[in-house]
Structures are given as structure tokens and as C-alpha cells.
Amino acid sequence: MTSRTLNTTPRADGFWMPAEWAPQQQTWMLWPERPDNWRLGAKPAQQAFINVARAIARFQPVSIGVSAAQYENACLQFAADEGVRVLEISSNDAWMRDVGPTFVRNAAGELRGVDWMFNAWGGLHSGLYFPWDRDDQVARKVLQVEGKDRYRTDFILEGGSIHVDGEGTVLVTEACLLHPNRNPELSRGEIEQRLCDYLSVEKVLWIAEGIYEDETNDHIDNVACFIRPGEIALGWTVDEQDPQFARSKAAYDHLIKQTDAQGRSLKVHKIPVPGPLFITEDEALGVDPVADGMARSAGQRLAGSYINFLFVNGGVIMPKFDDPMDEVAAQLLRDLLPEHEIVQVPGREILLGGGNIHCITQQQPSA
């Protein structure tokens, strides 16, 4: 199979991004290894990623891109795991949601992929690391492996900054998509038009901000997501002194007044956030500081959220943090998604790197 680069748009060709609960062929991941982000040579993070991959593999196949240097290690780790495929795909870090392709499909079931431009969440002025050239190649490589045609965009966007309902609506934050470190030359209306063209949506729902101290400039996938058409799960706290309270309340007050692309009023479900959680001194000391890399310091607040979960076929893979809210959030999702098995996987090591389960995965819909 070959992968062509197309000069049209998904919307023009009759393709759209399916909802994340739609049937999936597999899940894509990347292997963590950079020591300036993942502590202790990334060994604890690698074990966390292994746990996530194995949880997903109970429901569907997993493909993991690994650098040449770590290829043998990853193969050994998954030697006894059925349903996990290890591929040599180099990258600068391990955030498949943001650097991998956004898959789109048409009515006949044909799949293609959107390859967004990537600049490490801010480019040379406020990006999290440099270089990011290998990250920007990941989507193309995945599509070449799968033999799927590719739409390369002319603007910067990460997969974690969008969430769709599969029926014409996309949810985003102003803090991220309107940040001048992404596409300063584009107006809000021009950004909306590109979302409509590449996701085939009819309506863009904006909320102002995401989870407090989210270093991605407030990705939507850490604070709010669709759980079915017309229904949204939103990260929430009842502590009015917490900086997150005003953010979540503003989002809730705004969303309950909105309608989706089909004209439905939105139902918003409040899911508590953990913590607050902070980096410990031992965790900070385990990170190797390097030039042009990330900064991790003791006492730094972590952008913990249970919203950062992954839909799989018949299941939901969600993080837990050894926090009193772990079981509360899990039970709320069980009640909201009775047709899915809720599986909790330790998420602190992933959170220390700046994201969580949804951030390190990318679903490939069934064709």
C-alpha cells in the first residue's frame, strides 16, 4: 500500500473525524526515553507506558513507535504480549496524541490521516523543547506504515487540543488555539474555518481555559471531552480557593448555554480533579536538566485530571493517582458509560512528564 500526500481537504473529499467511541482498529503510542522529561532515565515512565499498552491490548491491538536506540529494549518488554506491535519510528518525545495523525473516514469506510504541523507547543519562543523535527515526521510515518493517504496542513495544531462528537461539533480552548505561539497570523474565524475543513465539523465550541498549570497552553483533552453526542465530561473542583475552580465554573456556565451542531442543548457532567498534586523533591532530582529541554522542579503543580482518559472498543482506560478522588471519578464514569468497562491504570509517572493516557495515545478508527 502507498500513502499519497493530497492537496485537498477532508471536508472537500467527504471525510470527517469520527467520535472517539466509534469502533477502532488499533491504538498508536510512542516510547518514552528523553531523560530531561522522564525521571531516572525514563525507566518508571516506560513501565507506566507498558501498563497502559497492556490495558489497551485487552480490548484491541496496540502499535508502539520506538527509536533505534530503544528498539531492542521495547521488544524485550513486550515479548510475551499478544496484540502489541513494536515499530522503529523515531521521535523527540512520546506524545502520540499531539504528533500522530488525526484519522478521518468517509461513508464508505475509507481511512485517511490529517498531518498537523507541530512546533513542540510553542516553537522557539515558548516551546517545551528543541528540536522537534522528528516529532513532526511521526504522523507521516504512521500513515506510510498503514498505507493511508495524508492531508498535510499549513497551520500548527496538536491532537490533544481538539475533541469531536462525530456529528459536526468540535470542542477547543481559547488559551491554546488562540495563543500567539501557534498561528499568530490567523484570526479566530480563520482558525475555525481550518477546523471545519480538516475535521468536517459545522460548529466550534470554545471554552476559555483548561486545567491550571497545563504546560500545553490548556489542551482541551485534559479538561473536557464528549462522552456521547450532546454530553460533555468536565474537570471540576468544589474548592473555591483553588485556581481551577474559576476556570471550571466559567467553562460550565458557558457550555450549558450552548448547543451543538445538531441543535441539541449540552449536558455537562462534573468529574472531580485529583489533588492538587505536586512534584516531589525526589521526582525532580531524577530528571536530567539539559539545554533546550524541559524544566521540572520540586513543588511544581501538576495538571492532574481524570478527563485525560482513552476510549477503546468496549472500554475506557483512565488514570489513577493514589488520590481519594480516584474511585469517585471512576464510579462517575461507570455510571455515565455503563456500556464500557472502566479500567484504571497508574498515571502519576505520565503526569510527571506533562500529560496522561489520552496524551500518549491516538486511536485509529476501524475501516
> How is residue 293 written as a grid cell?
529541554
**Beta-carbon count within 10 A of 293 CB:** 17
Cα 181 from Cα 116, distance rounded (Å): 15
Sequence-distant (6+) residues with CB within 8 A of 338 are none
Nearest to 346 by CA among 148, 75, 54: 54
Nearest of 163, 160, 175 to residue 98 by alpha carbon: 160
Contact 313, 59 (CB under 8 A): yes
| Cell numbers representing residue 244 in the block | 481551577
Note whether 329 and 306 are within 8 A (CB): yes
Phi, psi for 363 (deg, rounded to 5): -85, 140
Residue 158 CB-density burial (10 A; 0-12 exposed, 13-18 middle, 19+ buried): buried
pLDDT tens string for the chain (367 positions)?
789 999 999 999 999 999 999 999 999 999 999 999 999 999 999 999 999 999 999 999 999 999 999 999 999 999 999 999 999 999 999 999 999 999 999 999 999 999 999 999 999 989 999 999 999 999 999 999 999 999 999 999 999 999 999 999 999 999 999 999 999 999 999 999 999 999 999 999 999 999 999 999 999 999 999 999 999 999 999 999 999 999 999 999 999 999 999 999 999 999 999 999 999 999 999 999 887 778 789 999 999 999 999 999 999 999 999 999 999 999 999 999 999 999 999 999 999 999 999 999 999 999 8
Tell me the C-alpha to C-alpha distance, in Å, between residue 95 and each of 207, 215, 218. 23, 13, 15
The single-letter code of the amino acid at 108 is A
pTM beyond 0.85, yes or no: yes
Residues 6+ apart with CB under 8 A from 204: 169, 170, 172, 192, 195, 196
Residue found under cell 449540552? 266
Catalytic positions: 359
The closest alpha carbon to 261, from 197, 201, 190, 189, belongs to 201
Instruction: Tell me the C-alpha distance between 315 and 19, whole Å.
Output: 14
Query: Alpha-carbon distance 289 to 295, whole Å?
Result: 7
